[in-house]
Structure 1
Amino acid sequence: MKSIQLLRTVAYKLVEFSLYNLAENIFRHIVNLRSDEPQSFRDLALLLQESNSETKNLIEISDLFKKVIFGEWDNCYSEIEVTTLHELNCFVFQFHQQQQILNSIDNRLLRHLPVDLRIVMVWDTNDTDVDLHVIEPTGEECYYSHKKYSY
Structure 2
Amino acid sequence: MRALLQRVLEASVAVDGTRISEIGPGLLVLVCAMEGDTEAEAEKLAARVSKLRIFQDDDGKMNRSVTDTGGSALVVSQFTLAADTRRGNRPGFSTAAAPETGRALYEHFTDTLADLGIPTQRGQFAADMKVGLVNDGPITIWLDTEA
Instruction: Give the TM-score normalised by structure 2.
Output: 0.26
Between Structure 1 and Structure 2, the one with more strand by share is 2
| More helix by percentage | 1
TM-score, normalised by the number of residues in structure 1: 0.26
Higher relative contact order (CA 8 A, sep 6+): 2
